[in-house]
Amino acid sequence: MKSTTLTHKGKRKVNQDVILTSNINPDTYLYLVADGMGGYDKGEVAAQIAAESILTFLSNIDEITKETIQKSINKANLAIRQCQEENHTKMGTTLGAVILSKGIAKCFWIGDVKILHYSDSKLIFESKSHNLLNEVSNSKLLKENFNTSKYSHIVTRSIQGDVKKSVMSYQELMIKEKDELIICSDGVHNIIDSQTILFLMNKEKTFTSFIDELNKRLEIEANDNASLIYVS
């Protein structure tokens, strides 16, 4: 499978998103988007630390499992906490990633970076973001008087030095030939949702025209940092 990446800083002064695509070994690929948290110091540094820490850990173990992936996130937490203590600052990042090997995609995420799986021109899987809206989606508060627009942007899990707040969600997917995967920060899926992406996939006749259309929309519409990895 091949991958393409897009990233835009939107109307922000700095792009705090980090994209990583790498071979862990000849048969295993890591695709990762880390979204440095706005409102914190040096979100791009936290995103880079997390991405590199996870890659380093996973590249040096015998077997990649749900448990060892969580351990890699815990290592990233430690590295970010050490950086915070050394620099007397607060930083954090959300993250979404896919480890692809032999037709199996091991997907994991913390926060609101989305993972999408398309097959046979249909949306097969969409990750559920860790945000306040989803946390209270079944409560009376949401039904009575809840600002869904505001609280969908408040993340409830992230990598920011506290292991308890960075428990990942995990999903394994079977990937067939011609299936498509997208990993994208909230700067993308807030303006181009999963169904709109599906519409563009079906509308555009070639891979290049699909990517060009996504890129054009992000250039025009993105307010926040907006980054994605497209794997096909």
Question: Which mean pLDDT values do the consecutive 10-residue runs of the chain (232 residues) have?
Answer: 93 94 95 88 92 98 97 97 92 97 97 97 96 72 57 85 94 96 96 96 91 94 96 94
Q: Are the C-beta atoms of 53 and 60 separated by less than 8 Å?
A: no
Q: Are the C-beta atoms of 178 and 231 separated by less than 8 Å?
A: no
pLDDT for 211: 94
Q: Is 147 exposed, middle or buried (0-12, 13-18, 19+ CB in 10 A)?
A: exposed
pLDDT for 141: 55
pLDDT for 139: 60
- Cα–Cα distance, 231 to 4 (Å, whole number): 7
- Gyration radius (Cα) of the chain, Å: 17
pLDDT for 177: 93
pLDDT for 136: 74
- Name the pTM for this structure: 0.93
